[in-house]
Each structure stands twice: as C-alpha cells, then as structure tokens.
Structure 1
Amino acid sequence: MTARIFLWVGHPRETSLSHGMADAYERGARAHGAEIRRMHLSDMSFDPDLHDGYHSRKVLEPCLEAWRENILWANHLCWAYPQWWGGMPAKMKGVIDRAYLPGFAMRYHENDPWWDRLLAGRSADALMTADGPAWFDQLAYGRPAKLQVENLVFKFAGIKPVRTLQVGTVKTAKPEKIQHWLKQAEARGRAAAKRLA
C-alpha cells in the first residue's frame, strides 16, 4: 500500500514555522514514496461560522469541499499549526466546525448516545508549535491543544493512531533548535511513509 498523506498547514499566515515543519515532513515522506496532497489555511476563503449549529446546513465553499475530498483520499493526515490559547487558531477551528460534520466525520445514533466513526482506517500526525515547552504545558494545563486534536477531533472520527509533536519555546528558539525541530518533523514524515508502505 502506498502512503497517501493529506498535509494541512493550519497557520492563518502565509509563512510560519508551521510551514517549515510541513515542508520538512513532506520531504521525509516523499523520500519514502508517499503521495502528498497539501493545503494551506491561508489560501482558504470561507465563512468560518456554523451559524445554526447542526440544525441547518450551509453549502460548503469549494475549499472546504476540497479539504474533505483530500481527507477521504488520504490514509494518513498531518496537520501543522500553532497552539494559540490552548487550542488551534480560530480560522482552523472554523474549517472543522464547517466541514467536519455528522455524515462526514461521524454519524450519531438515533436511539443511544453513541456514534459511528466514519473516518476509521486512517492515522494522523499533529505538528504543533508553541510559545512554551511541552513539559510546562503538561504540568500547568494538561496539554489541552494535544487532547483537543487527538481525542476530540481525530479519534472522535476513528482516526488513530495519532502522534503529536509539540515544539517550543518558539519565540526564543535559536537557529540550531529550530533545525532540530525540522529534523524531527522530517523523521515523522519518513516514519509515516514507512508504516504505510
């Protein structure tokens, strides 16, 4: 089986360390034969609000349709993004609110509180940058951004295993530290491609 990886850069800016981490991950994955589809949040234009919740559906903009199509095509996902205020950027969360819906990611049962996980059979990596070290995030807050993406987004829809690489402190990182993080991201890409080969 060939690794088919959907790589999504969830930083709202056009350039960032998240982009560099994604570049490194892609390099590692392509070196081991992976097919890659890639999207950037900064290129996506859509209304991020799910105004009526699940009570009525809005027509998905073309970029959201493409995002969903790439998830269905992939057997592995990699999302690279910054941790802001214990979670993901608002625009990134807007993609999930608008497109990661019942009937696509999950299907709720009518007569019990459970659900079917419609994206099972895929695995994922999350590459998160932060302005604090992961050990402090764990000690002080329990790593809420990691729990959000792993448990409440990926695993909720059946995507597992999920491997998260959280790096920081970004704002004071010296070039050699950033190079170390990029090498880690490249190694994650290689490992994903090898597992799915």
Structure 2
Amino acid sequence: MSKRVLVILGHPGTNSFCSALADSYIAAAKDASHDVRVMRLGALRFDPVLHEGYRQIQALEPDLLDAQADILWAEHLVLVYPIWWGGVPALMKGFFDRILLPGFAFNYRQGKAFPDKLLNGRSAHLLVTMDTPPWYYKWIYRMPGLHQMRKNTLAFCGIKPLATLTFGPILGATPTQRATWLQQARTLATR
C-alpha cells in the first residue's frame, strides 16, 4: 500500500552519513511506490530560537509554513538525525520548537490535564547515528535523545513511532559496516 512519506534530515550538513541514510531510505521508498517528499533542515531558512516561548507566537518564515504543510500532507514521517551530546542537534530541536505549535500539533483545553494530539494518524521511523556504541547509549545513558523524540515530541503530538534504527559508532566504521547500515535503511523503507 502506497503512503505519503516525508523524510526530514536533521543533520545540518550536506555530506554526512545521515544524508546517505536519508538518500538510501528515499530511493527504496520511491522504488516501493511511496509518494516521497524530502526536507533537509540545513537548507531551510528560519530562526531556530523560540524567543518568547508560547507566550507570544512568532511569525513563521515561509520555509516553516511549507514544513507544516508537508507534515499535514504526510501519513508517515522519517526522521534522520545524529545524536550529539546525548540528544538531537540544536537545529532539529529549534525546528520542532518553532513548528509544533499549539493549534497545529497539540491543543490544551481548560480542565483537561493532557492536550489534544492534533497530528494523530501519522506514524514515524527514526534513523539515528551516533559515535557512542548503541548498546552503551541504551544501557548506560538510557537513550535520552530517542526518548525525547519518540515520547516527548512525536507521541505528544499524536505521531506513532513504529521503528527506530540506531547506527554506530559512526567514528571508525568500516565501509562494510556503512554498507550494511544503508541496506538496513533501504529495507525499513520497503515495509
């Protein structure tokens, strides 16, 4: 069954392994007849700082308005990003701070402890790179960057994470390891 897929590359660079993972996923998803759109955060023009919090919503730049439209269009999101300092890159965090706004992604109602999830019905895959061995990140650090994205960001808005692939350590990875990881991304895209 064909789906509308939005791939969001959270690594700000254009020549990263995250970019190669995104490209592998995109190619396989297109080969599987999915309708795919791509958003590379490093190419967008916007202020990633939410200057007043939610006390005053700052006007969204055109690239952020387009991003919101793409999220509403999508049935499935694919987030590709590195773990830096245990969490998501600042650009990606700022992107979500700016676009996942009340009235778009969630809505609090008086007398209700938890907000309405306005992006219900969407699913997500996460493809995450790190220089820490994934087992160490899981058992010693307790995966803060994955919990933040899956629970505190996506699930909070109603997006259901289906699968998370972690790749690492990237530093010192052999060409054979990288090829295996790219194939895992392609395989996930065809599910």
TM-score, with structure 2 as normaliser:
0.97
Structure having greater relative contact order (Cα 8 Å, sep ≥ 6):
1
Please tell me whether the aligned partners of residues 102 and 108 of structure 2 are also in contact (alpha carbons under 8 angstroms). yes
- Check the 8 A contact 1:154/1:162 in 2, yes or no: no
Give ranges in structure 1 of 5+ residues lacking alignment. 192-197
Mapped to 2, the partners of 1:99 and 1:160 lie a distance apart of 18
| Map of 2:26 onto structure 1 | 26
Tell me how far 1:131 sits from its aligned partner.
0.3
How many residues end up aligned between the 2 structures?
Answer: 191
> Are the aligned partners of 1:5 and 1:37 in contact in 2 as well (CA < 8 Å)?
yes
Say which is worse superposed, 109-118 or 175-184, in terms of deviation. 109-118
Answer yes or no: is 1:180 the counterpart of 2:180. Answer: yes
Q: Secondary structure at the match of 1:141?
A: coil
Cα offsets for 1:109-132 (capped at 9, x unmatched): 211211111001010001100001
Structure 1 segment 69-148 matched on structure 2, within 5 A:
69-148=69-148
Give how far 1:49 is off.
Answer: 0.9
Give the structure 1 partner of residue 41 of structure 2.
Answer: 41
Aligned-residue RMSD, C-alpha: 1.0
CA contact (8 A) 1:10 1:82 kept: yes
Q: 2:126 touches 2:161 (CA, 8 Å); kept in 1?
A: no
Provide the TM-score with structure 1 as the length reference: 0.94
Identity %: 41
Instruction: Give secondary structure in 1 for the equivalent of 2:60.
Output: coil
Q: Deviating runs (4+, > 2 A) in structure 1?
A: none
Contact kept? 2:24, 2:182, Cα under 8 Å: yes
Q: CA deviation at 1:134?
A: 1.2
